[in-house]
Amino acid sequence: MKFFVDTAEVDAIAELNALGMVDGVTTNPSLIAKSGRDILEVTKEICDMVEGPVSAEVVALEADAMIAEGRKLAEIAENIAVKVPLTWDGLKACKVLSDEGKMVNVTLCFSANQALLAAKAGATFISPFIGRLDDINIDGLDLIEDIRTIYDNYGFDTQILAASIRTANHMAECAKIGADVATAPPAVIKNMANHVLTDKGLAGFLADIEKAGIKIV
């Protein structure tokens, strides 16, 4: 499963990128606003840092305006994936931009029907939002499973980019289901390494070796 980092904070991206944990980056208007930086400037910096796809989202609502914004975003770098919302206008923009050879990430997906439409519109990635479904007591992982089944039934090339990931458990479950990509905040990716028994076992090893007075250097 590819790991995308869901942030516009370049220092956090750099830290994980140094460990080989960054196969791509996703941003959205809220993450860009949180960064306090110009969208074109920060997106360019991120594109220069990572080899994989970097999703940058349009902010227009009407198809022609989305297409114009998408073309401008795509000019930033070769590895830009233009992010469009899963609306009828977003699907129109997806079709035009993907036919032009641009990567398109269709976002704010909350149903299997929406994912089916995105695949037919030529989406490179579909971003189903797990956490926001969980927030309304619907199991977001079920949606990932449904989309995986539908895409496999018909051989759609669109990659499932599991998004709105809130926990390390979401990461493992997405991998078990077979999501192509999971995009998560840096803290969630880091938290995947944590386990209380690892800490306990390490402490035990170090106590025993110290008691034995053994050193390596």
Q: Which positions lie near ligand G3P, rule CB under 6 A?
A: 6, 26, 28, 129, 131-132, 163-164, 166, 183
The active-site residue out of 44, 83, 102, 176 is 83
- For ligand G3P, the closer of residues 47 and 109 by Cβ is 109
Return the residue nearest ligand G3P (CB atom).
Answer: 164
- For ligand G3P, the closer of residues 92 and 132 by Cβ is 132
What's the token pair of residue 214?
């053994």
Any catalytic annotation for residue 83?
A: yes
Minimal distance, residue 105 CB to ligand G3P, in Å: 9
Please give the full DSSP string across 174-199, using - where no structure is assigned.
Answer: HHHHT-SEEEE-HHHHHHTT--HHHH
Minimal distance, residue 76 CB to ligand G3P, in Å: 18
- For ligand G3P, the closer of residues 28 and 43 by Cβ is 28
List b or e across 161-190, with b for residues whose CB sees 16 or more CB atoms inside 10 angstroms.
Answer: bbbbbbebebbebbeebebbbbbbbbebbb
Would you put residue 213 in left (φ > 0), alpha (ψ -120 to 50) or beta? Answer: left
Q: Which residues are catalytic?
A: 83
